[in-house]
Chain A
């Protein structure tokens, strides 16, 4: 074994070739990383929802609300994932006007993705309820915990 390693080391040293230590990262990598993060986020939320259910946490209202929040975040992640995908696919010329969107318009007939893009861009309609459910769930748990702590005292 030592002989083989020694041989390979000598061979590598005596026959040098160009190496590429640093890999270049093009523009799509950022989007891919973000999309993968969305996938991880969504999976983790489904996992949490399942874990809460399987460990009987959802008997309490607070945890039930958090479970709903998980499901909504899961859906939001799917929406965001699709939104990002559609945004890439949608030609920019289909959006008329400049600015932040208030005075912009979308040509729906310009691409099969136009309609999806229109609705998927309104992901806050899912994201905000998800966060609200988390908030309500935490508030409920806090109140119950306060009562429990008071009862223990």
Chain B
């Protein structure tokens, strides 16, 4: 390797290489640009575009300069190349520096960009999550609202539809809310008349109940099944079972009370009637036994007395004594007969009885006397009242007893109202005799049907009239009930059941 070697290979590689660099660098710029357009937000493609552009700049500078150099030298203008050479060299240097600078800074920029993109993605994800949450929240709120509405309707239904009284009281025990049953029970037409105006103290009949209520509620915070009497707006007394609970908004403050009141007035009345019926039945059995035992010796006494009277002259002193014995014995026998009637042991002769006619016969006995003493008897009879299958004479006796009692309850002028009506539900005729007399106390009402019980002075009555009446009505399968208020008056209700035949006469199309 001591001789000269041609530089033609160097020349060829320089010319061909420069041309290839030009072509390839533009190709690189083309794809870098397309990449940048495909994903404009990518910092990597931006970097590659800058890198490609810098390399393309270097390639142009170098390739063009080399090609121009060869052209100038071959054309014999070496001084021109000497003129351009520093420029191309300087440009190449700048291109290298640009490539190096961009490359050194790129990772840092890429890291920052990556963090920004990550933050952006996180922000977008958070936005999506918030939107989804918001959407879910709306759905959740809608679902909860629906559930609440269903629940509200359900509990409103229970509140409105309850057959017992449900109410809410405020701290001062004034009613804040009450269901329709309670409003009806207390005799009010609208909530406006009731809410915020009536307190629990207003409806208690007795102060002792009220005091007991306040003591219990303050001691235990709840009351369960407290039996008490209340008064409705028309003044009628009711018996209720009261249960009340304190409701609190927080741990310390009592805000209001929720309660339920169960009306047991009818049940208590029925129980009382049943108890009375049992008592009277027991008394009737005793009375019947005594009456039977007394009836025979009384018959013998009366028989022997009459035999002695037959053999005794009226002028004889003994005659008047025997007459007294006969009279008193007859009185005793009548009492015994009344006791038997009370005990339903007497004979009855039943037939279809027109109650209106029966009443007219009864009133005809002392109607004029009533008028004379200023007592008016008003009748309210329903049209087409059916006949009842009963013992007419005994019914007349009952009516007379009740009318006389009513008259005796009225001192001075007064009014007796006799009502007769059909009760289709009970398939019975109801006869009511009301007076505006002195009325009776509760204790008296409880004993009114007891044999020999009377409020009249001694000698005025035996105390068997109502007992006998009770026994007669019971013997007809009916009921004799009394309502009375002291100072206002009393009402006796006779319920006489209809036989199927009697009922069919009234309702031929619907005998049941």
Contact = CB atoms under 8 A, between A and B. Distances in A.
B14 A121 contact: yes
Contact of B31 (A47, A104, A106, A142): A142
B97 interface: yes
A100 B74 CA distance: 6
A41 B14 CA distance: 21
B502 interface: no
Of B14, B20, B100, chain A has the most CB atoms within 10 Å of the CB of B100
A142 B55 contact: no
A38 to B, nearest CB: 6
A106 B21 CA distance: 26
Interface in A100-146: 100-109, 115, 118, 121-122, 124-125, 127-128, 131-132, 134-135, 138-139, 141-142, 145-146
Interface in B1-47: 1-11, 13-14, 16-18, 20-21, 24-25, 27-28, 31-32, 34-35, 38-39, 45
B55 A134 contact: yes
Contacts of B70: 100-102
Given A101-B70, A102-B74, A30 B86 contact: yes
Contacts of A48: 103, 106
A21 interface: no
A14 B294 CA distance: 166
Q: Majority SS of interface residues in chain A?
A: helix
Interface in A1-59: 30, 33-34, 37-38, 40-41, 43-45, 47-48, 51
Nearest to A121: B10
Residue of B4, B13, B59, B72 with highest tally of chain A CB at under 10 A:
B4
Nearest to B10: A121
Interface in B92-122: 92-94, 96-97, 99-101, 103-104, 106-107
Contact of A118 (B10, B31, B100, B103): B10
A127 B63 CA distance: 11
Nearest to B38: A145
Contacts of A47: 103-104
A105 B18 CA distance: 21
Contacts of B100: 37, 40-41, 43-44
Contacts of A30: 86, 89-90
Contacts of A38: 96
Contacts of A151: none
Name, among A45, A125, A131, the residue most crowded by chain B CB atoms within 10 Å (CB to CB).
A131
Nearest to B27: A135
Contact of B21 (A115, A122, A128, A146): A128
B7 to A, nearest CB: 4
Q: Chain B contact residues: over half helix, strand or loop, or mixed?
A: helix
Given A51-B107, A100-B73, A138 B11 contact: no
B90 A142 contact: no
A122 B12 CA distance: 9
Given A104-B6, A105-B7, A107-B3, A41 B99 contact: yes
Could you say which of A66, A105, A121, A135 has the most chain B C-beta atoms within 10 Å of its C-beta?
A: A135
Given A44-B100, A124-B18, A135-B28, A141 B7 contact: no
B169 interface: no
Contacts of B2: 108-109
Contacts of A142: 31, 34-35, 38
A107 B78 CA distance: 22
A18 to B, nearest CB: 31
Contacts of B6: 104-105
A66 to B, nearest CB: 8
A95 interface: yes
Contact of B99 (A44, A125, A138): A44
Interface in A45-95: 45, 47-48, 51, 66, 77, 95
A125 B13 contact: yes
A106 B38 contact: no
A96 B31 contact: no
Contacts of B34: 142
The 5 closest A-B pairs by CB, nearest first: A124-B17, A100-B70, A105-B4, A37-B96, A44-B100
15 contacts: A33-B90, A37-B92, A37-B93, A37-B94, A44-B99, A44-B104, A101-B11, A102-B11, A104-B6, A109-B1, A121-B7, A121-B10, A124-B21, A125-B13, A138-B52
Given A38-B96, A40-B97, A122-B14, 5 more contacts: A102-B8, A103-B8, A107-B4, A108-B3, A141-B35
